[in-house]
Structure 1
Amino acid sequence: MGTTPTQVMAFPNIRAIVRDNGTAEVIVAGNSRIVPAGDSMQELRNNALALIVGEAQTLQRPVRVRIEDPEGHGELIVHPDNKIESVSYETAPARRRAEAPETTPATASPAIIEAAPAPEPMAVPAPATATATAALVDAQPWPPAPATATPEPQTAAAVEEAAPTRRSLKETSFLVSAPVLEPATQGWRGTLTRLGLRMDPSEEELTEREDVRTVSQHWPGPRTIAVVNRKGGANKTPTVVMLSAILARYSGAATVAWDNNESQGTLGWRTEKGAHDRSVLDLIDASTDLLSPSTNAAEIAKFVHHQTADKFDVLRSDENEEGDHEVTAEEVDIAHQVLTRYYRLVVMDSGNTARAANWRRMIDHTNQLVVPVTAIEDRAEAARLTLQTLESRGGHDAELARNAVVIVSESTDAKRSMSGEALKRAKDEAQRIADGFAPFVRAVVRIPYDPALVNGPIRYEALQPATQRAWLAAAAAVAAGF
């Protein structure tokens, strides 16, 4: 069954104009696209249709197009799957038609027609190939042929049966189903757009927009991310900071980074300190009040350290001088209950002991597992053993391992030497490790070396653009698991 005009929105406004001088253009929302020349009027029409099919594929829905040529004018519906329907067609006066270089074949049909394969969807649709054009000529969807057969007389009953029935208003809508593609903002395409020549975004920019959309989503209920590796120096803390910063910045969701080290972790050293010294133990002591229905949401600020630039909070591990307290499984339960009341997203740093009670209880509360690793053999092996341990436990733990996101960061050692050969080895080793994990987890993301991640407090804005883009991709891979 064909698509009726009321089911296809006339947006964007598309016109296809074929002239008797052998030129043609397709105008989409006021932007003209020159149609490749053809050897005949029909080939020129089909080249125009190929551009329109590409536009339908870009929008991922049928489009309506007004057609004009020396033989007449009308309207078509063009589908992304190369089907073309004729809605209406009115021939030009006889004198004007006689001046046209071709006459309309009498064999064309106004029904749905399978056109030749159009170019693959891309930001700017490519011209039709010679093969596609030839196939379209055979199909001849434009213009439709006039009817030649004399219709059979109909009885009154047949006429009554054929009369159109009134459609329900529930069957149509005036809303545009697909969002308008915003013009390019990056690279030379963005430069041309700012100069007044609207350009479609590149594939790279479209991918970045999709990553931004993914990390900007809101989801029902709180989510907990655990960042784990049994080896120290595997980039756990920078990973916690970067994921927290990007998810908080883009989604606007209340986000807390929690240092769930069994004794004393380093998350507090790599982030901004608030106006107090409170830690997770203070939060646990105040849990009864914090869980009271009468407690104001702002009270949580007494126990966390806000990151003013990156818009997330940090819950520090115990930093008392004796360092004789180890967080228990019960204390993890209490702290997690408090935090999920005040935050939608909890990102947990961890220690190096997968057997510790607080580590195992963290896994019980985890929705998404992240395994960071620097491109060094022992860090990668420790990450593998961490995943293997979880997988061997079965159930929830094994599912977390299979659905994990592994983040591979290039080694810092080679960068310090600034040797070209060392840089190449570092990149090759990072790729080897990434390829090794890929068959066993949901996603693997590589992060380039960046000196802003090595020492001192970590700030998203201090990273190089390439590093920011890589971490955005990593955060999108994580958020896709929510």
Structure 2
Amino acid sequence: MTTSASKPTVHFVTIDGNRVTVDGTTIDADPSPHTAAVHHIARTYAQPLGQAVEAIASDSGGHMRLTINPDGSTGDVAPITETEARDLERTHRGTGLHVVASDDDPAPTTNPWVTTAAAGGHPAAATEVHVSPTAPRHARKSFISEGPVIQPAKQGWRGSLNRFGLRVGPGPAEKEWRQDVQLVSQHWPGPRTIAVANGKGGANKTPTTAMLSAVFARYGGAGVLAWDNNETRGTLAWRTQGSNHDNTVLDLLPRVDQLLGTGAQSAEMSYFAHHQPADKFDVLRSDQSVDGGHEVSADDVNKIHRVAARYYRMIVMDSGNNERAANWRAMIEHTDGLVVPCTNAEETAEAGARLLETLIERDEHNAALARNAVVILSQRTPGKDPNVERITANFEPLVREVVTIPYDKALQSGVIHFDALRPATQRAWLRAAASVARGLSG
């Protein structure tokens, strides 16, 4: 279409400014005839090419050059002289498209290729338009398939059939699972920080931190740090595996400048972080000593975050219960996504709701975190509990999404391992992590 020597001609005839005839086919048009012409050019030429086309419009008011995008919007509009218009037409002749349009209003009052709102008046239709692709040499369709390759089903009865040599596509549940895996597997341009916060003890902050870190690391690759931002003796150290050292955040602080230096190596973080071999993430523990008088300050959090952001693509921060503490507030300032964990114990849900209300009243950053937050409701008791549905319903107007996690004995005590969870619990945590990922900007 773009290389033929013949120039297709298209006629636009306006009737009372409401309808347009295109090659004998009548179609509805906008009140402004030029809009119908732009949309026709976009639909007929720009969309099949998958790229913008350049148009030269001429009417009684002069000539102009503009870009028409595949979605019908117009790009740059610039007036040109009659000589420039003729030169451009000769340039495009034989390789472009020539569109002729009739004009019922030969005396336009404004630029006919700018929207009515922008022009401040009712525009007239252009009498002549020359259209050519902006990059005609690259307009051909690629030989490479554009659609994704759908892998055969691996789960359920469909997966069983495929193991016998058949080729059956995934069902709805597996498609949803794959979408969630894709979400948590993505890497963002720059590190992302997730804060897991609830002012009530026993709200499931530590298991939530560990499980989100495990899902993001297992599916998205390494580079995930679970950071215990408790003032002291946070339980993340108790619920995850240790390494061959007992170092904590206080041991890292004196080495911040060294770790941020040009000669630092990524493996040096192994002196301070505790790697989880099966779940693939690292843990930065809070101070575990009863003695000592060091209180983690906002400046400490800022320094450690600079180090963490250099060595990790994702930082999941467990938090203490004091929302007034300097280290808690500093955490929130670095946060890209907020997770509010709670259980089917109603006091943990109440504490989470009050946290959200407080953040909304602080400033725009805090309010945005609250509106975009994800509530993860973990059931701490077996069996059906009506509190789960009630808490979910009450949270839904406050946050972006609420995800429930079923009761699982493997989460109740001891070191947490993703592989130790029941399949339904693993699926729920994947769903929760995907919900968090949806709120992180690209």
TM-score interval for Structure 1 and Structure 2 normalised by the shorter chain: 0.5 to 0.7
Equivalent position SS for 1:401: helix
On the 8 A contact 1:407/1:474 being kept in 2, the answer is yes
Equivalent position SS for 1:268: helix
Matched with 1:334 is 303
Structure 1: how far apart are the matches of 2:246 and 2:138? 63
Structure 1: how far apart are the matches of 2:380 and 2:218? 27
On the 8 A contact 1:264/1:323 being kept in 2, the answer is no
Name the aligned partner's letter for residue 258 of structure 1.
W
TM-score by length of 2: 0.68
Matched with 1:63 is none
Structure 2: how far apart are the matches of 1:450 and 1:337? 36
Structure 1: how far apart are the matches of 2:265 and 2:168? 50
Q: For structure 1, which segment, 227-236 or 435-444, has the greater mean C-alpha deviation from structure 2 after superposition?
A: 435-444
Structure 2: how far apart are the matches of 1:191 and 1:392? 53
Correspondent of 1:479 among 424, 434, 437: 437
How far apart are residue 198 of structure 1 and its match? 1.9
Structure 2: how far apart are the matches of 1:398 and 1:323? 36
Matched with 2:192 is 223
Structure 2: how far apart are the matches of 1:347 and 1:473? 17
Matched with 1:352 is 321
Equivalent position SS for 2:329: helix
On the 8 A contact 2:232/2:289 being kept in 1, the answer is no
Structure 1: how far apart are the matches of 2:434 and 2:138? 40
Query: CA offsets, 1:73-94, max 9 Å, x none?
Result: xxxxxxxxxxxxxxxxxxxxxx
Q: Number of aligned residue pairs: give it.
A: 311
1:433 aligned onto 2:402: no
1:245 aligned onto 2:214: yes
User: Which structure 1 residue ranges, 4+ long, deviate > 3 Å from structure 2?
Assistant: 165-169
Distance 1:393 1:169, change over 3 A: closer
Structure 1: how far apart are the matches of 2:290 and 2:328? 22
Structure 1: how far apart are the matches of 2:250 and 2:165? 58
Specify every segment of 5 or more residues in structure 1 that has no aligned partner in the other structure, as ranges. 2-160, 416-422
Name the aligned partner's letter for residue 139 of structure 2.
K
Name the aligned partner's letter for residue 177 of structure 1.
E
Query: CA offsets, 1:367-415, max 9 Å, x none?
Result: 0000000011101100001111111102100000000010011132xx2
Matched with 1:313 is 282
How far apart are residue 183 of structure 1 and its match? 1.5
Correspondent of 2:240 among 263, 271, 296: 271
1:408 aligned onto 2:366: no
Matched with 1:448 is 406
How far apart are residue 197 of structure 1 and its match? 2.6
Matched with 2:260 is 291
How far apart are residue 253 of structure 1 and its match? 3.9
Matched with 1:109 is none
On the 8 A contact 1:263/1:323 being kept in 2, the answer is no
On the 8 A contact 1:263/1:325 being kept in 2, the answer is no
Q: For structure 1, which segment, 459-468 or 189-198, has the greater mean C-alpha deviation from structure 2 after superposition?
A: 189-198
On the 8 A contact 1:263/1:324 being kept in 2, the answer is no
How much is the aligned-residue C-alpha RMSD, in angstroms? 2.0
On the 8 A contact 2:222/2:280 being kept in 1, the answer is no
On the 8 A contact 1:450/1:463 being kept in 2, the answer is yes
Structure 1: how far apart are the matches of 2:266 and 2:351? 40
How far apart are residue 168 of structure 1 and its match? 4.0
Structure 2: how far apart are the matches of 1:237 and 1:446? 16
Structure 2: how far apart are the matches of 1:410 and 1:267? 19
Structure 1: how far apart are the matches of 2:219 and 2:167? 26
Equivalent position SS for 2:434: helix
How far apart are residue 295 of structure 1 and its match? 1.4
Seq. identity, %: 57
On the 8 A contact 1:272/1:306 being kept in 2, the answer is yes
Equivalent position SS for 2:237: coil
Equivalent position SS for 2:315: strand
Correspondent of 1:459 among 407, 417, 421: 417
Specify every segment of 5 or more residues in structure 2 that has no aligned partner in the other structure, as ranges. 2-97, 99-131
Correspondent of 2:427 among 463, 469, 472: 469
Structure 2: how far apart are the matches of 1:271 and 1:180? 38
Name the aligned partner's letter for residue 367 of structure 1.
D
On the 8 A contact 1:253/1:345 being kept in 2, the answer is no
Query: CA offsets, 1:96-145, max 9 Å, x none?
Result: xxxxxxxxxxxxxxxxxxxxxxxxxxxxxxxxxxxxxxxxxxxxxxxxxx
Structure 2: how far apart are the matches of 1:241 and 1:215? 15
Correspondent of 1:387 among 349, 356, 376: 356
Correspondent of 1:378 among 329, 347, 352: 347
Name the aligned partner's letter for residue 479 of structure 1.
A
Name the aligned partner's letter for residue 191 of structure 1.
S
How far apart are residue 180 of structure 1 and its match? 2.2
Equivalent position SS for 1:171: coil
Equivalent position SS for 1:379: helix
Equivalent position SS for 1:269: helix
Equivalent position SS for 1:476: helix
On the 8 A contact 1:264/1:319 being kept in 2, the answer is yes
Structure 1: how far apart are the matches of 2:303 and 2:146? 46
Correspondent of 2:166 among 180, 194, 197: 197
Structure 2: how far apart are the matches of 1:300 and 1:179? 38
Correspondent of 1:177 among 146, 168, 174: 146
Name the aligned partner's letter for residue 188 of structure 1.
W
Matched with 1:235 is 204
On the 8 A contact 1:221/1:344 being kept in 2, the answer is yes
Matched with 2:90 is none
On the 8 A contact 2:198/2:321 being kept in 1, the answer is yes
